[in-house]
Each structure stands twice: as structure tokens, then as C-alpha cells.
Amino acid sequence: MPLLFFVPFNRTPLLSDWAYITALAVFCSSLCYVIYFGLVVKVGATRAISVEFLVTLVAVLIGAIYLKEVITLIQLLGGAFVLVGCVFILGLFGLGKTSAPSIQ
């Protein structure tokens, strides 16, 4: 969007174009922020940020499925590291963060 004014326009944007941009802003951005910060309140910041780590994996999968992009070995290894990191961050399977001993 910041570079939008440096691109030549072939036509004047229609009202429907502005409606699509507004819909994207409202539903894809604003709604996601509301849901995300609700998640932060509900489960805490550490667990909520793990959702952001998975965004990259989903983007790679969507690229492979819809754009027929090839997933390389390094991408598979990176995805595995992301998933293992999420397991440790979330403390799944008894792995990862443990509670600190209390001082009495």
C-alpha cells in the first residue's frame, strides 16, 4: 500500500474496488487483531504468539497447494523446527517450560 501512489493506474478505481479494500481492512485485519488480543487475554502472550509462528507454515502450504510451488527439503526442515519450537513453547507432551520452584 505505501508504494501505491508510485504505480501508474490504468483506470480510476471503482467504488467496488474501494469496497473490497474496506472489506479486507475490516474483516482480514481488524477482526484478526480482535481475535488475537482476545487470545492473549485468554491463554497468555507466550501461548498466543505461537499462533504467529504457524503463519509461515500455512503460507508455504497454501503456496504449494494453490500456486503449485515446490516445497524444498530446507523448507521441510524449517517447518519441523517451527513445530518443535511450538511444542516446547506450549509445553505439550510434558516438554518445555516447567514452573519455577517456589521460595518459602
pTM (2 d.p.): 0.56
The whole-number mean pLDDT for each consecutive block of 10 residues of the chain, a chain of 104 residues, reads: 75 88 85 87 85 86 94 94 85 64 57
- Alpha-carbon distance 85 to 54, whole Å? 10
Cα-Cα end-to-end distance for the chain: 56
For 56-65, the pLDDT digits (tens) are: 889 999 999 9
